[in-house]
Chains A and B, each alone.
Chain A
Amino acid sequence: MKHTLIALVEDKPGVLNRVASLFRRRAFNIESLTVGRTHEPEVSRMTILVDTELTAPHLVEANLSKLVNVIDVHDVTQTPTVMRDLALVKVRADAGTLAEINQLADIFRAKIVDVASDSVILEVTGDEDKITGLIDLLRPRGIIEMVRTGQVAMVRGVNESGTNKRMNGNGNGHGNHHQ
């Protein structure tokens, strides 16, 4: 089984290194980790998928919470959540197969974002199952190259204790980052 954790972290140099170092040191088995900006300028957001066969998710969450640069961590596995992954897939295509690939793309609501004489690039967004489904169908046609962003997650609705509300540690404010 997989657990999904969302971590809000300070957008400072070395923070990703601290998180990665923690996972390595504690031998945590991480399925995927994505990191990017949020609507708040000093806050980055990580979505972490933990393989629970090998790693206890509560230990990942508790250890992350101990890092000074980590603002908040939530295990959203049990919470209704929108999960998205984006893949770019370059597949062999010529005049004879292009129509068929186009049809496949339509079914999966993927987009053809680049056409070359011998190949096309498809962009597909969705949850894990959808993307894997499309890739399985494309594979026999010859995948030349592929890249995936890893999954990002967002909890549905507004919830005060959730990830849409930045934790301020019992109303202490989040000052004191010496800029």
Chain B
Amino acid sequence: MAIRTGAQIIWECLMRENVSTVFGYPGGTILPAYDAMLDYPIHHVLTRHEQGATHAADGYARASGQVGVAIATSGPGATNMVTGIATAMLDSSPIVCITGQVGTAVLGTDAFQEVDITGVTLPITKHNYLVMRVEELAATMREAFHVAREGRPGPVLVDIPKDVQNAKCEFAYPDAPIAFPRRRIPAQVPDDELERAAEMLNQAERPVILAGRGVLLSGAAQQLREFAEKTQIPVVLTLLGLGVFPRQHPLCLGMAGMHGEAYANRAVQNADVLIAFGMRFDDRVTGNLKTFAKTAKKIHVEIDRSEIAKNVHVDLPLLGDARAVLEQLIPRVETKPREAWHDQIAEWRSETQARDVLRQEETEGLAPAHVIHDLWQATEGKAVVVSDVGQNQMWEAQYYRHDEPRTLITSGGLGTMGFGLPAAIGAKFARPDAEVWVVAGDGGFQMTQAELATIVQERIKINIAIINNGFLGMVRQWQQMFYERRYAATPISSPDFVKLADAHGISALRVRRREQVIPAVRSARANPGPVLIDFRVQQEDCVYPMVPAGADLREMIRRPMEMEMAK
């Protein structure tokens, strides 16, 4: 066996976990690891902030399905990772964060750049480790990757004191089985439960499928499609589920919830059976829990037991991996035309479409929905879009029609502004051949715009669409609707984004009119380098429909029309 330093062991382990790219920022206590890095064929991306490194690792994980890796020093380096770790935790994204720590001799003395980062991140990691002896390092690294990936994925942090990085020991990558989870979920769902589920679905007259990110994580998009097509049950998606079922499929009703399609929310609220796959009944999806899908018997297919009956009473929980459960369910369900239900949904759908801003050819100023729609058209729906948070994110979710899994990357659970640009960097490294677009607001973009320099240093091609309305738009929308238009701290100025891009050596355009949108997107695509487009849109447009927080899903604030249609 070879003798290695702790610093070398870190990279030896990363090599064995097939890590090709890491995102990070060096500093005092992680110096030994950075020194050792030069001897290993792993590419390091220097982000401009540790938050950017964590989001990039997260974006990498979401785009590829592989574990993303971020590295930082102790103290401020580690605390800067916190938002990125929480973002990954809330969206079940597998990342491993490696932090340097002060030497074991001074641990607990408030030494320079000492922070108890395992204490700080305890509630926002799936698990974390403080490695006190170099002999523990290899097994800990291996377990960290396993825990991050296994079951419902999540972030894991490994904190490594500087003297542990410098210490030497014999290195061998362990291969013993890892005892986590202790209680494995059986691959086979009990027969009686499958029978009951099939019976409920076969007898249903108004069934709805609700699909979330768990379908993507289990690689069950194909099985979901087969299941929906066989049963002819319409499919409603969560924000993080977008892409797991083709948006343009006739059975797809799009996104449900606070900014979901009106007809999707109506279908959920009128369903008699609701079968949910890999989603957790988040408040943004359910609205008022007391009135959520009240008439529906609920079947919940879920891999994480602690999500079952957490928010919503479930009539039949099916514990398991979405793909395994779908494969066992498909042979048991019957094909039924369900014409009356589809006719009803079609009626709701046409009412929604009549109100759609896409029907308005002329708007006063550039409509954000038009920008996203045209971006979708001009990229032939094939881009990987990394959205930021707020109105831009909701317009993207509504108007970019994602037909494939992993084509939308967005911070759903935590709603982290500033996620878009750094996460897109990670996504581009995960899928270098993909066309990657950032869709961000002028507010969120400014939170992490320092990462523009990272794009340039790494010579990667990412296109950036800023939906620039001069406001922190989603908060402004809430102020308009619920705070009598008192715009407290929501007007926001921005630098000249075109000049800012120029200062970085990035090409940029400004677009103010509808007819410029498609040509601008085309020119960005044709450009071999990164391009930023500053879309100057209507300042006070709102995302419609909107279910106010905690309200019944039927209580939607709709886009005002010139002639109010009959309900």
Tell me whether A70 is interfacial, beta carbon within 8 Å. yes
Tell me the minimal C-beta distance from B550 to chain A in angstroms: 18
B139–A169 touching, CB < 8 Å: no
A170–B184 touching, CB < 8 Å: yes
B306–A59 touching, CB < 8 Å: yes
Query: Of the 9-residue stretches B173-181, B432-440, B464-472, which lies at the interface with chain A?
Result: B173-181
Tell me whether B309 is interfacial, beta carbon within 8 Å. yes
Q: Which residues from chain B contact A179 at a C-beta distance below 8 Å?
A: 136
B179–A56 touching, CB < 8 Å: no
Q: What class of interface size applies to chain B in its complex with A? A: 20 to 34
Q: Mark A125-156, 1 if CB is under 8 A from B, else 0.
A: 00000000000000000000000000000000
B177–A172 touching, CB < 8 Å: yes
Q: Which residues from chain B contact A169 at a C-beta distance below 8 Å?
A: 179-184
| CB neighbors of B among A22-74 (8 A) | 22, 25, 56, 58-59, 62-63, 65-68, 70-72
Tell me whether B143 is interfacial, beta carbon within 8 Å. yes
Q: Across the interface, name the chain A residue whose C-beta is closest to B147.
A: A68
CA of A65 to CA of B319, assembled, Å: 14
| Known interface pairs A59-B310, A66-B306, A68-B147; A175-B122 also in contact (CB < 8 Å) | no
Contact of A65 among B127, B178, B182 (CB under 8 A): B182
CA of A109 to CA of B183, assembled, Å: 42
B178–A176 touching, CB < 8 Å: yes
Tell me the minimal C-beta distance from A18 to chain B in angstroms: 7
B123–A167 touching, CB < 8 Å: no
| CB neighbors of A among B180-210 (8 A) | 180-184
CA of A83 to CA of B200, assembled, Å: 42
Q: Across the interface, name the chain A residue whose C-beta is closest to B119.
A: A17
Tell me whether B45 is interfacial, beta carbon within 8 Å. no
Q: Across the interface, name the chain B residue whose C-beta is closest to A58.
A: B309
Q: Across the interface, name the chain B residue whose C-beta is closest to A26.
A: B306
Tell me the minimal C-beta distance from B175 to chain A in angstroms: 10
A66–B177 touching, CB < 8 Å: no
Tell me whether B305 is interfacial, beta carbon within 8 Å. yes
Contact of A175 among B135, B147, B177 (CB under 8 A): B177
A72–B122 touching, CB < 8 Å: no
Q: Which residues from chain B contact A172 at a C-beta distance below 8 Å?
A: 177-179
Q: Across the interface, name the chain B residue whose C-beta is closest to A174.
A: B179
Contact of B182 among A62, A167, A175 (CB under 8 A): A167
Contact of A173 among B126, B177, B304 (CB under 8 A): B177
Contact of B306 among A21, A62, A70, A168 (CB under 8 A): A62
B308–A70 touching, CB < 8 Å: no
Contact of A21 among B123, B127, B308 (CB under 8 A): B123
Q: Across the interface, name the chain B residue whose C-beta is closest to A167.
A: B182
CA of A176 to CA of B182, assembled, Å: 12
| CB neighbors of A among B457-501 (8 A) | none
Tell me whether B80 is interfacial, beta carbon within 8 Å. no
Q: Which residues from chain A contact B179 at a C-beta distance below 8 Å?
A: 168-169, 172-176
List 8 tightest A-B contacts by C-beta distance, closest first. Answer: A62-B306, A178-B139, A178-B136, A62-B305, A169-B182, A68-B127, A63-B306, A172-B177
Interface residues of B (CB under 8 A from A): 118-119, 122-123, 126-127, 135-136, 139-140, 143, 147, 174, 176-184, 304-306, 308-310
